Structure 1
Amino acid sequence: MELPSEALLGTCSHCQRLLLTAILLASMATAQLDLSPKNPDWVEGYRFIWRVSGAPTGDVNYTWYRGDRTMETNMLVSYISSPPSWITGPANTGRENVTARGFLNITKVEMRDAGNYTVVVTSPEGSQEATGQSRVWENLLQPNITVNTTSAVEFMDIVNFTCYPRNSGNIQIQWYQNYWPVSQGDQWTLSPDNRTLTGWVTRFQRGPFYCQVSNPIISERSLSKSLDIYYGPDSISLKSSPPTYGGRIESRLGYGVEMVCSTSSKPASRYRWLHNGIALESTTSIYNISAMSWADVGTYRCIAENPKTQIVLYSTVSLRVYEDSHFPSGIPYVLTQRLVIFFSIGVSLGLLSLIGALTFYLVSRRYCVMLGYWGQRDWKGRTGRDKGKAILKRNPSPRVSSTMR
Structure 2
Amino acid sequence: MDLSRPRCRLWRELVLVASLLACGIRQASSQIYITPDSLIGVERYSSSLAIENAPEDVQEYSWHRGANDTEENLIISYNATSHSRRDGPMYSGRESVSIRGTLRIWRSQLNDTGNYTVRVDTINDTQRATGWLEILELEIPQISVNTTSVVDGEDAVAATCYTNDSHVQWYVNHAPVSSNYRMTISPDNKTLIIRMFSRFDSPLQCGIEILPELIQKSDLVYVTVAYGPYSLQLRSSPTDFSGILSAEIGSQVEMECISYSRPESKYRWIHNGSLLSFSEKNITLPSLTWDQMGRYRCIAENSATQLTLYDEVHIQALWRRPVVSRSFTISGSLLVFLIIFTVLGFTHFLMVLIRALFRHYSTRANWSI
TM-score by length of 2: 0.54
1:230–1:43 distance in 2 versus 1, CA, 3 Å: same
Per-residue CA shift, 1:258-317, capped at 9, x if unaligned?
Answer: 222111222221110111211110001112223333322222111111222222111122
Match of 1:249 in 2: 245
Match of 1:180 in 2: 175
Q: Distance in 2 between matches of 1:249 and 1:97?
A: 85
Q: Which amino acid aligns with 2:202?
A: R
The answer to whether the 8 Å contact 2:269/2:275 transfers is yes
Q: Is structure 2 residue 329 aligned with structure 1 residue 317?
A: no
Residue 37 of structure 1 deviates from its aligned partner by: 5.2
**Aligned mate of 1:196, from 180, 191, 211:** 191
The answer to whether the 8 Å contact 1:49/1:103 transfers is no
The answer to whether the 8 Å contact 2:207/2:218 transfers is yes
**Aligned mate of 2:223, from 224, 227, 230:** 227
Residue 98 of structure 1 deviates from its aligned partner by: 5.0
Q: Which amino acid aligns with 2:155?
A: D
Larger Rg: 1
Match of 2:130 in 1: 104
The answer to whether the 8 Å contact 2:185/2:193 transfers is yes
Residue 175 of structure 1 deviates from its aligned partner by: 1.4
RMSD across aligned C-alpha pairs, in angstroms? 4.0
Percent sequence identity over matched residues? 30
1:317–1:277 distance in 2 versus 1, CA, 3 Å: same
Q: Distance in 2 between matches of 1:206 and 1:288?
A: 39
Classify the secondary structure of the residue corresponding to 1:103.
Answer: strand
**Aligned mate of 1:149, from 147, 154, 160:** 147
1:189–1:39 distance in 2 versus 1, CA, 3 Å: farther
Classify the secondary structure of the residue corresponding to 1:304.
Answer: strand
Classify the secondary structure of the residue corresponding to 1:264.
Answer: strand
1:256–1:97 distance in 2 versus 1, CA, 3 Å: closer
Match of 2:138 in 1: 140
Greater percentage in strand: 2
Residue 226 of structure 1 deviates from its aligned partner by: 2.1
Per-residue CA shift, 1:372-403, capped at 9, x if unaligned?
Answer: xxxxxxxxxxxxxxxxxxx9x958xxxxxxxx
Per-residue CA shift, 1:95-120, capped at 9, x if unaligned?
Answer: 446555342233546xxxxxxxxxxx
The answer to whether the 8 Å contact 1:238/1:315 transfers is yes
Per-residue CA shift, 1:343-392, capped at 9, x if unaligned?
Answer: xxxxxxxxxxxxxxxxxxxxxxxxxxxxxxxxxxxxxxxxxxxxxxxx9x
Q: Which amino acid aligns with 1:260?
A: E
Match of 1:91 in 2: none
The answer to whether the 8 Å contact 1:31/1:54 transfers is no
1:318–1:256 distance in 2 versus 1, CA, 3 Å: same
Residue 53 of structure 1 deviates from its aligned partner by: 5.7
Q: Which amino acid aligns with 1:156?
A: E
Q: Residues 10-89 of structure 1: matches in 2 within 5 Å?
A: 42-43=40-41
Q: Distance in 2 between matches of 1:285 and 1:50?
A: 69
Match of 1:283 in 2: 279
Match of 1:118 in 2: none
Match of 1:238 in 2: 234
1:48–1:279 distance in 2 versus 1, CA, 3 Å: closer
Match of 2:208 in 1: 213
Which 5+ residue runs of structure 2 have no aligned equivalent? 1-26, 56-65, 70-112, 120-126, 324-363
Classify the secondary structure of the residue corresponding to 2:193.
Answer: strand
Which 5+ residue runs of structure 1 have no aligned equivalent? 1-28, 56-75, 80-93, 110-137, 328-390, 396-405
Q: Residues 314-393 of structure 1: matches in 2 within 5 Å?
A: 314-322=310-318, 324-325=320-321
Match of 2:4 in 1: none
**How many equivalent residue pairs?**
241
Q: Which amino acid aligns with 1:106?
A: W
Residue 43 of structure 1 deviates from its aligned partner by: 4.0
TM-score by length of 1: 0.49
